[in-house]
Amino acid sequence: MQVTAFLLGMLVFVVYTVLIRAFYTVKPDERAILTSFGRARRIGRLMVEDASLNEEEKQRYRFPRLQVIGPGGPYFKWPWQEVHKVRVVTEAIDLTWDPTKSQHTIEAVTKDNLTTGVGGQIRFRVSENNLYAYFFGVDKPLEHVMGYFISVLRERIANFVDPKGESLVGDTELSTGSAAAELSEGVSINDLRKNLPLLNDYMEQQCRSTGARYGIELDAALITQIDPPPEVDRALSAINTTRNQVAADISTARADAEQQITMSKRAVDIARNNAQAEVAPLKELANTLAQIKTTGGPGALRTYIRNLRVPLLKRATRIVQTAAPK
């Protein structure tokens, strides 16, 4: 009876470990690897390769390629085997995430030594090609990635200048003067804000090796905020306000100028027309009198003028006449 019970107990243990615990499934967003007696199943002698690592780094980040179990199931495993699953979906994490410190922004120093705040997110996913690094090679992969990312980001911010060499004030905005040359240098905070996409691209490019290093691939760097101290922000806003004000003043002046110039051009036309109007009867009268002279000679012209003066005699109030000599 007791021997039977003992054997039954052993049978229960075997059924539980070999049959019940032997089957597992992998969800669509998961990948799994299997270890036998603690050793992960490898793909022959293949190692993870990454061209972005230099020779010295390749020696340091040497991880074997593992046999990855894709979604599906039920899969079978032996009792001495263990399944390690991980979600491979793209996830996002705030830049300020730091397990050892609570913070609301990342502090960084710009090229002109201004201490500014940086905010945003990074999108990442576990690298299917390097699950060994994620599961075994690196103690805390995400902390590693964040440590590396923040280091590169701060270094880049400290060196960042506008790649197009654009100044704070556009080339067309300042005409001449001693200030123009002085102001041709960019203000770092403005350069950074104008070129956020470029900064994000640089970070993505620099973090291409994280998959090979730590088993986490950076999908995108989404730096969305460059937060300088409020007084700097206000001063930058004042520049924009002034820029708009100046543009408005210049537009108004140009409009006034155009109006006045048009008016003066019209004044010339008006004066010419008035003069032409004055000259037209003159010319007409001259032509008429010339015809009278041509037809009747100089006497006819004098007679015409005498005739013209006749109405004046009607209006005469006094006539002084001298006696004719006898």
Partner 1 sequence: MFFDSDFSLGPIVAFVIGVLYIPILLAIARALGLYAIVREREAQVFTLFGKVIGTLDEPGLRFPLGYFGLKALLVPFFGKLYRVPTCLRQHYLRDQMVNSEEGTPMGVGIWYEMQVSDPVSYLFSNANPEGSLQANVASSTISTLSNLEMDKMLEDRHQLSRRVRAAVSPLSEQWGYALGSVYIRKVAFTDRQMVDNITDKVVKRLVQVTSAMKQDGENRVGLIKSETAYKVSQKMAEAAAARPAIVGEALNAIAQQDPEVLNAVMEVMETEQLIASGAQVDVLPVDSEILVQL
The residues in 59-98 that bind partner 1, with binding defined as CB under 8 A, are 60, 80
Report 27-66 residues binding partner 1 (CB under 8 A). Answer: 35-40, 57, 60
Contact of 75 with 119, CB cutoff 8 Å: no
By the rule CB under 8 A, 20 interacts with partner 1:
no
* Minimum distance, C-beta of residue 28 to partner 1, in the bound complex (Å): 26
Chain centre to alpha carbon of residue 147: 27
Of the candidate spans 69-77, 191-199, 218-226, 310-318, the one that interacts with partner 1 by CB under 8 A turns out to be 310-318
Please enumerate in sequence order all residues whose Cβ is within 8 A of that of 73, keeping only pairs 6 or more positions apart, or say none: 23, 24, 25, 26
CA 228-229-231 angle, to 5 degrees, is 120
CB of residue 270 to partner 1, shortest distance in Å: 7
CB atoms within 10 A of CB 230: 8
- Contact range with partner 1 by CB under 8 A, out of 67-75, 123-131, 196-204, 252-260: 252-260
Near partner 1 by CB under 8 A: residue from 19, 43, 181, 257: 257
Residue 195 or 206: which CB sits closer to partner 1? 206
For partner 1, which is the closer residue by CB, 92 or 261?
Answer: 261
Burial 190-205 (b: 16+ CB within 10 A, else e): bbbbebeebbbebbbe
**Of residues 167-226, which lie at the interface with partner 1 (CB under 8 A)?**
168-169, 173-175, 177, 179-180, 183, 187, 189, 214
Return the number of other C-beta atoms located less than 10 Å from residue 75's C-beta. 14
Query: Which one among 76, 201, 267, 296 touches partner 1, defined by CB under 8 A?
Result: 267
> Toward partner 1, which CB reaches closer, 19 or 270?
270
Q: Which of 58, 65, 154, 194 binds partner 1 (CB under 8 A)?
A: 154
Q: Does 163 sit near partner 1 (CB under 8 A)?
A: no
- Supply the minimum distance, in Å, between the C-beta of residue 189 and partner 1: 7
Q: How far is the CB of 282 from partner 1 (least distance, A)?
A: 6
Residue 68 backbone phi and psi in degrees, to 5: -95, 130
Return the residue of 25, 54, 224, 274 that touches partner 1, per CB under 8 A.
274
Residue 271: name the closest of 283, 259, 263 by CA.
263
Longest dimension (CA), the chain: 194
Residue type, 79: P
126 and 175 Cβ atoms separated by less than 8 Å? no
Of 4, 44, 102, 104, the residue at the interface with partner 1 (CB under 8 A) is 4
Spatial distance between the Cα atoms of 79 and 89, rounded to a whole number of angstroms: 29
